[in-house]
Structure 1
Amino acid sequence: MGNMKLHPSKLMGEVKIPPSKSIAHRAVICSALSKTNKFLKLNLSDDLIATSEGMQTLREGGKVVIDCNESGSTLRFLIPISLVLGNGGRFLGRGNLGKRPLTPFYPIFDQCNIQYEECSNDSLDFRVNGKLISGNYSISGDISSQFISGLFFALPLLSGDSTLTITTPLESKGYLDLTRSVMDEFGVKIEKKENQLYYIKGNQSYQNQNYEIEGDYSQAAFFLCANSLGSNIKIANLKSNSLQGDKAVLELLSKIKEQNTSSLITIDGSQCPDIIPVIALVAALQEGKKTEIIHAQRLRLKECDRISAVTQELNKLGANIKEIADGFYIEGVAQLQGGTEVWSHKDHRIAMMLSIAATVCKNPIILQDYECVSKSYPDFFKDYLQLGGIASEWSMG
């Protein structure tokens, strides 16, 4: 992969953020599950290509082999659907996807006599065979809400009614609300009962819609954080009353800016893990302020160990960050020095975070393996340059 030389620069102008990846995954699935042959047309990132092609494979039937690439959403959403539209299949993937757990599904698979096998290698090779049936199910919610969303998509297609009880505190609750909201737009309803019990009526059918997808707060977070560090970017297509969990970036930036230098600010990363790397960057540049980010242990199971990667790379640039088990302890500095090479760890969110860091460094930096941004935001550097970012491909030779 390539290297990019990034110079200090103030970003200015207007940018149109790509459609929300979280909503797009859900809308593509709902559209594909409708009875028409119409698929949503999107400017697709690598993750959305995986979901779109996976749903096409499931609709075609026959022997099902789905390449999830590095997309956890694709994997966890499509497994239950494969057990309703067919008899399961084989799910392949790369990067860290094989290390990301599927264990919350297993008690439900056992209850339905569904066979499953996880091949023991670094990449993903998961095989599942059987039929999901309607029933009363329980599932843990403290690893990811994606497992629950996957069941939400699949269970309404069965002939009988089902219930789903979440047995632990729910991680990323906002994403579950997002799933129900998109499904509702396509005519399928999940009814929330008391506490963490959901009622899923069977024999429902998805009705295709001309569905418009709002801008992505998880991608906008990089430019919103750049604004917090001195840039002046107008973001054109964010929905103010969005259900996206990563809208929390606005609240967190306000909290950091209003913090008193004599107190320790604590940020809970459990509900919005994807924006934590760039929030850590902002916290690292609050001179004289101390920030603790906790409950973000899921970052260790993403495309890379993001807790370790953020700590290593920002400290190379002159930050003062200490890695803790579930997050970071950060002492703010006045400026990042730069003047060194940093690595994306082949993780799109680390690459974009370091690109924003480059704008406020004293000296240029060289970012290794920058192309990984294609996983979620293929046009990131195009937009970055349009806003006045100074970047050029760099030969290490």
Structure 2
Amino acid sequence: MTHLTLIPEKIKGTVTVPPSKSMAHRAVICASLAKGRSMITNIQLSDDMIATIAGMRSFGAVISYNDRTLTIEGVGNGSVQEKRIVDCNESGSTLRFLIPLATLFKGKTHFIGQGQLGKRPLEPYQELFDAQSLHYQLAATQNLQLSVEGPLTPGIYEMRGDISSQFITGMLLTLPLLAGDSILKITTPIESKGYIDLTLSVLRSFGIVIEQAEDGQEFRIKGQQVYIASDYTVEGDYSQAAFWLSAHALGNDLLVKGLDTASLQGDRAIVSILDTLNNCSTESECVIDGAQIPDIIPVVALVAALSKGTTKIIHLERLRIKESDRLVATQKELAALGANIAIVDDSLLIKGVSELAGGQEVWSHKDHRMAMMLAIASTVCKKPIHIKDTVCVKKSYPNFWETFEKLGGKIHEWNMG
């Protein structure tokens, strides 16, 4: 189902949200670095997760999957083949988490990828490898072609925090295994700080202890630590739940299950955001800071478009370097459906309307979160909408369309010819 026509229809029922992709990435990596056997339960094999599993296999971990559970025999810090290819597909998490980890193993690691992955920033690692005179070769090709070789040495590292928290997570996963102690200093405010909290939480579950300074900008990391094999259950994903919670806020009758109300996930903010938008009046001017929640901005913008008053979503610079230019994509496609939405610098300015007309051809921009947002939008449009490139949901939520249909969503395959 590459191109779909969605008929306006309210959806209803109970949804159990898929497991957190963010936490699953981290748990798989930690278990793979441990010595011994770990069981990671509540796993969904999205394209991104398949990429991380394949990457850890290339480092020597033995991983099998059965009934939503991964059994992982960890590699520890052992030896593997001296030349490895890691296919990251379109997963930025896989790429940025595994680049520093690759330096723990003898020989070169060659990273390849598809889609927009080769255009997403990697400068913090380039600077780090250059500073230690390590091999780092990025080919000037359309698709990602990157070769790296270590080893990293313990010491004091400085890294920007305003490009992506994924670079920080990659270092936090790696530095505890070095021969000596290290300090990681973050030189700018950390974007998506919630993801760092997730990293530290999963690390603790596998026996790794990292001391964070009170201001959150420095990490003190003991070397020669050992990942301890553990059984771990991945909690439900607030990033994916945001689509169903937003659908409910827009008048669909949904019960969303499988979420931890005490979760550290940054996208848990969707709950308070929806409450704020629901309480807006025609005179309201609501400001939402999107710096820490880039993955849920498209669906937040959808709800804001049908909320009373004016909503401004600020600090959206990083949306431009996601799977698509998500800032432009969100504005363009919602405007096509009838929303009053404009880009002002790196913000979205949205004036609420009473309904969305629909009746248009829109595009996912091959971005999974755009495709899912447009699906929810179809439930509140007056006329059918036609969405191009819908298979991209496989990146994070492979059974999204199946779930949408089970809830009563009306879908027809669309032949563009």
If the length of structure 1 is used for normalisation, what is the TM-score? Answer: 0.97
Note if 1:236 corresponds to 2:257.
Answer: yes
- The secondary structure found in structure 1 opposite 2:142 is coil
Distance in structure 2 (CA, Å) of the matches to 1:360 and 1:225: 11
Equivalent pairs, count:
396
User: Out of 195, 217, 224, which is 1:175 matched to?
Assistant: 195
- The secondary structure found in structure 2 opposite 1:85 is coil
User: Out of 285, 289, 296, which is 1:275 matched to?
Assistant: 296
Note if 1:313 corresponds to 2:315.
Answer: no
Tell me the residue number matched to 1:3.
3
Tell me the residue number matched to 1:45.
46
Q: Could you tell me which amino acid in structure 1 is paired with residue 384 of structure 2?
A: P
Q: Could you tell me which amino acid in structure 1 is paired with residue 8 of structure 2?
A: P
Distance in structure 1 (CA, Å) of the matches to 2:266 and 2:50: 23
- The secondary structure found in structure 1 opposite 2:59 is helix
Distance in structure 1 (CA, Å) of the matches to 2:369 and 2:100: 28
| Cα offset, 1:38, TM superposition | 4.9
The share of aligned pairs that are identical, in percent, is 52
User: Does the Cα contact within 8 Å between 2:38 and 2:230 map onto a contact in 1?
Assistant: no
Tell me the residue number matched to 1:32.
32
Decide which structure has greater strand share. Answer: 2
Tell me the residue number matched to 2:281.
260
Structure 1 unmatched ranges of 5 or more: none
Structure 2 unmatched ranges of 5 or more: 61-79
| Cα offset, 1:88, TM superposition | 4.4
- The secondary structure found in structure 1 opposite 2:357 is coil
Distance in structure 2 (CA, Å) of the matches to 1:123 and 1:297: 23
| Cα offset, 1:121, TM superposition | 2.4
- Select between 14-23 and 84-93 the one with higher mean Cα deviation: 84-93
Tell me the residue number matched to 1:66.
86
User: Does the Cα contact within 8 Å between 2:290 and 2:316 map onto a contact in 1?
Assistant: yes
Distance in structure 1 (CA, Å) of the matches to 2:159 and 2:39: 31
Distance in structure 2 (CA, Å) of the matches to 1:232 and 1:88: 52
Within 5 A, what are the aligned runs for 1:317-356? 317-356=337-376
| Cα offset, 1:387, TM superposition | 1.2
Q: Could you tell me which amino acid in structure 1 is paired with residue 112 of structure 2?
A: L
Distance in structure 1 (CA, Å) of the matches to 2:37 and 2:205: 18
| Cα offset, 1:273, TM superposition | 0.5
Distance in structure 2 (CA, Å) of the matches to 1:53 and 1:284: 40
Distance in structure 2 (CA, Å) of the matches to 1:96 and 1:324: 24
User: Out of 380, 387, 391, which is 2:411 matched to?
Assistant: 391
Tell me the residue number matched to 1:146.
166
Q: CA RMSD in A?
A: 1.4
User: Does the Cα contact within 8 Å between 1:112 and 1:131 map onto a contact in 2?
Assistant: no
- The secondary structure found in structure 2 opposite 1:89 is strand
Tell me the residue number matched to 1:301.
321
- Select between 54-63 and 9-18 the one with higher mean Cα deviation: 54-63
User: Does the Cα contact within 8 Å between 2:39 and 2:230 map onto a contact in 1?
Assistant: no
- The secondary structure found in structure 2 opposite 1:226 is helix
User: Does the Cα contact within 8 Å between 1:140 and 1:166 map onto a contact in 2?
Assistant: yes
| Cα offset, 1:259, TM superposition | 2.5
Q: Could you tell me which amino acid in structure 2 is paired with residue 9 of structure 1?
A: E
Distance in structure 2 (CA, Å) of the matches to 1:334 and 1:244: 32
| Cα offset, 1:392, TM superposition | 2.2
Tell me the residue number matched to 1:78.
98
User: Does the Cα contact within 8 Å between 2:105 and 2:150 map onto a contact in 1?
Assistant: no
Distance in structure 1 (CA, Å) of the matches to 2:189 and 2:282: 33
Q: Could you tell me which amino acid in structure 2 is paired with residue 112 of structure 1?
A: Q
User: Does the Cα contact within 8 Å between 1:317 and 1:340 map onto a contact in 2?
Assistant: yes
Distance in structure 2 (CA, Å) of the matches to 1:121 and 1:330: 38
Tell me the residue number matched to 2:68.
none
| Cα offset, 1:205, TM superposition | 1.0
Deviating above 3 A after TM superposition, structure 1's stretches of 4 or more consecutive aligned residues are 37-41
Tell me the residue number matched to 2:220.
199
| Cα offset, 1:316, TM superposition | 1.1
| Cα offset, 1:332, TM superposition | 1.1
User: Out of 184, 195, 211, which is 2:232 matched to?
Assistant: 211
| Cα offset, 1:10, TM superposition | 1.4
Distance in structure 1 (CA, Å) of the matches to 2:389 and 2:81: 37
- The secondary structure found in structure 2 opposite 1:362 is strand
Distance in structure 2 (CA, Å) of the matches to 1:72 and 1:52: 14
- The secondary structure found in structure 1 opposite 2:220 is strand
- Select between 315-324 and 17-26 the one with higher mean Cα deviation: 315-324
For each residue in 1:336-359, what CA deviation from the matched residue of structure 2 results, as whole angstroms up to 9, or x when unmatched? 111121111111000000000000
Distance in structure 2 (CA, Å) of the matches to 1:8 and 1:45: 28
